[in-house]
Amino acid sequence: MSKAFASQADLEDKKTTFEQLSPHCWAYTAEGDPNSGVIIGEKYIMVSDATATPAMAQDLIAQIRKISDKPIKYVLLTHYHAVRVLGASAYLAEGATEVIASRGTYELIVERGAQDMQSEMERFPRLFRGADSVPGLTWPTLVVGDGKPGQQGSLEIDLGGVKVQIWHPGAGHTRGDTIAWVASEKVLFSGDLVEYEAGVYTGDAQLEEWPTTLEALRALNAEYIVPGRGEAMKGNADVNKALDYTKRWVTTLFQAGKEAAAADMDLKTAMAHTRKSMDPVFGHVFIYEHCLPFDVSRAYDEAKGIKNPRIWTAERDKEMWAALQG
């Protein structure tokens, strides 16, 4: 029996949690749905990942307004995926003057933002509640760095009483991944570079480089992390658990992809081969069945030498799904 396409059958709302991690940092998490982070200074507020629609962003704004009336001046796009960025316009009325992204993220919006927007809206109808409130693509007003990884291309923002460093630590989930790091409180906002006990979507990933990027994050010795999906992790040991979880997913997946490519399997056979190593470890986690066919497709492509991920369109999504999950 074929599985319902992507997450179209996932219609049950998740419980959201707004949790303080440190004097200035909060996590907005939702049982495996996309997370956001909030940093509240004495003058300004920053939101890391804007939610999928302006209507959905109002839920996060309401939580913030229970504890602060400061302007939400900065919105950080950790990467370009629609489910993370299309809610950004909601913050304009809350004082937003800067939408921040890396050079790589800006380039990806130019290259494939429109296709990704249509694709994701069809994959995740529940996550795009109020889609008619989206005015169009979200464009950064402030582009950070030159595309090279490392803190030399970092931006430091003073929110008043707390400073936030923003930079591109390396490719992984996408080639433009960007983090927010509050060094004084050892809180890391990783976006989808790190997940925990949820599916790791790699459809636009740089799988070979991703583990090195995770080790760059590990070197920060964070005490808290707000991952892209999954609960906020507290204590360095649990931060490392999330890093290890993500690294295991990526390396297991890519190894299977390399084996499939070397044997010149077709994609359906590659999917069955990948399941042998992935299902026993990860088959129980949220959106596993959604992520896996996209992940196998990308792992196989990268193993075959396709460095820049092929663009996912709504049409390609459905063709691939019918072939692999039909």
pLDDT at 218: 98
- Distance, in Å, from the CA atom of 171 to the CA atom of 169, rounded to the nearest integer, reads 7
pLDDT at 326: 72
Is 116:81 a contact under the CB 8 Å cutoff? yes
Q: Is the pLDDT of residue 6 over 80?
A: no
Of 55, 47, 119, 48, residue with least CA distance to 81? 119
- Distance, in Å, from the CA atom of 143 to the CA atom of 100, rounded to the nearest integer, reads 6
The CA-atom distances, in angstroms, between 106 and each of 92, 95, 145 are 20, 22, 11
Of 52, 40, 78, 245, residue with least CA distance to 166? 78
Q: What angle do CA 215, 241, 207 make, to 5 degrees?
A: 45
pTM for this prediction:
0.95
Mean pLDDT for the stretch of residues 195-199: 96
- Distance, in Å, from the CA atom of 116 to the CA atom of 126, rounded to the nearest integer, reads 16
Walk across the sheet containing 155-158 and list its strands. 155-158, 163-167, 179-182, 187-195, 224-229, 233-234
Q: Is the pLDDT of residue 7 over 80?
A: no
Q: Is the pLDDT of residue 1 over 50?
A: no
Interval 57-96: pLDDT, tens: 999 999 999 999 999 999 999 999 999 999 999 999 999 9
Q: Is the pLDDT of residue 150 over 60?
A: yes
Interval 100-109: pLDDT, tens: 999 999 999 9
